[in-house]
Amino acid sequence: MITLKNVTKKYNNYDLISYNDLIINKGDFISIVGPSGSGKSTLIDLIAKLNTCSSGEIKIFDKSINTYDDKRSIQLFRKEIGIMSSTSSLFSILNIRDNILLPLIIHNIDKCNSNFEHIIHKLNLKNLLDKSSGDLSSGERQRVLLARAMVLKPKILIADEPTANLDLDNTKQLVNFLRYLNDDFKTTIIVATHDDIVSKSSKRIYELEK
Ligand SMILES: Nc1ncnc2c1ncn2[C@@H]1O[C@H](COP(=O)(O)OP(=O)(O)OP(=O)(O)O)[C@@H](O)[C@H]1O
Ligand SMILES: [Mg+2]
């Protein structure tokens, strides 16, 4: 489903990050771990097509991600891959409901064909829907970002530090949700994480070194 071959990323012509080759199969749940600065967020952004490799190739659904380059294929890519990156943010002019529904508007999909009600229930977000994004705690914000990433029922979920800023209860709740997505929806999950609770719940670990 996703493969990395000879992938490197160079920043500023001297910082070189090299990634070991990797195959991620449908239904996998993989944690990317490693020390700060080892390249976890960079890899998440490369797979999510938010950044480009300096060399090597990433394939998703058996196609090089460079070939998702016209409007239609980028739209398909964005629909099938839910992203919660370190730079994901909520729109302050929209309430929480509309922030979560935004991908449906972009992709012109009816709410009843989405995951909205189910996800709101599972992530316990019902009481937050009319709030504005500035009025959330950081844990609530993480849950809303995850709901938005999952609202189109993507085949793949890519998340950067999804449990950052969460207390133990919220971490466990979020991890249970990831496991539920993986077990019941067969969503392929890729998370970058420092959190042992997340990495221990995943099926596989991909370790980066600095
Ligand atoms: N936009 C950028 N410009 C220059 N260097 C960058 C940029 N983004 C990341 N880097 C560098 O690339 C390396 C990997 O960074 P990255 O954010 O991927 O690490 P990380 O493993 O996610 O770290 P953390 O655990 O702290 O989140 C670091 O040395 C960082 O300074
Ligand atoms: Mg990071």
Residue-range definition of the domain harbouring residue 166: 2-207
User: Could you give the CA distance from residue 2 to residue 62 in angstroms, rounded to a whole number?
Assistant: 7
The alpha carbon of 199 and the centre of ligand 1 are apart by a number of angstroms equal to 20
* 138-150 helix and 96-107 helix, angle to the nearest 10 degrees: 20
pLDDT tens string 115-143: 899 999 988 899 999 999 889 988 899 99
pLDDT at 168: 92
Candidates 81, 17, 29, 91; CA nearest to 50 is: 81
The alpha carbon of 55 and the centre of ligand 2 are apart by a number of angstroms equal to 21
User: Could you give the CA distance from residue 178 to residue 30 in angstroms, rounded to a whole number?
Assistant: 11
User: Which ligand is closest to the CA of 17, given by its number?
Assistant: 1
User: Could you give the CA distance from residue 96 to residue 144 in angstroms, rounded to a whole number?
Assistant: 7
| Nearest atom in ligand 1 to 9's CA | 12
pLDDT tens string 158-174: 999 999 988 898 899 89
Number of domains in the chain: 1
List, in sequence order, the alpha helices (H) in 114-159.
116-122, 138-150
Q: Is the CB of 11 under 6 A from ligand 1?
A: yes
| Nearest atom in ligand 1 to 39's CA | 18
pLDDT tens string 11-59: 987 789 999 999 999 999 999 999 999 999 999 999 999 999 999 999 9
pLDDT tens string 166-199: 889 889 989 999 999 999 999 999 999 999 999 9
CA atoms within 13 A of residue 47's CA, in its CB half-sphere: 33
pLDDT at 75: 86
The alpha carbon of 110 and the centre of ligand 2 are apart by a number of angstroms equal to 34
pLDDT at 14: 74
> For residue 91, what are the β-bridge partners?
none
Q: Is the CB of 38 under 6 A from ligand 1?
A: yes
Cα distances (angstroms) measured from residue 16 to each of 41, 171, 172: 14, 33, 35
Question: Residue 8 maps to which CATH number?
Answer: 3.40.50.300
Above 90 in pLDDT, residue 151?
Answer: yes
| Nearest atom in ligand 1 to 45's CA | 18
Where do we find the tokens 């999804």? 162
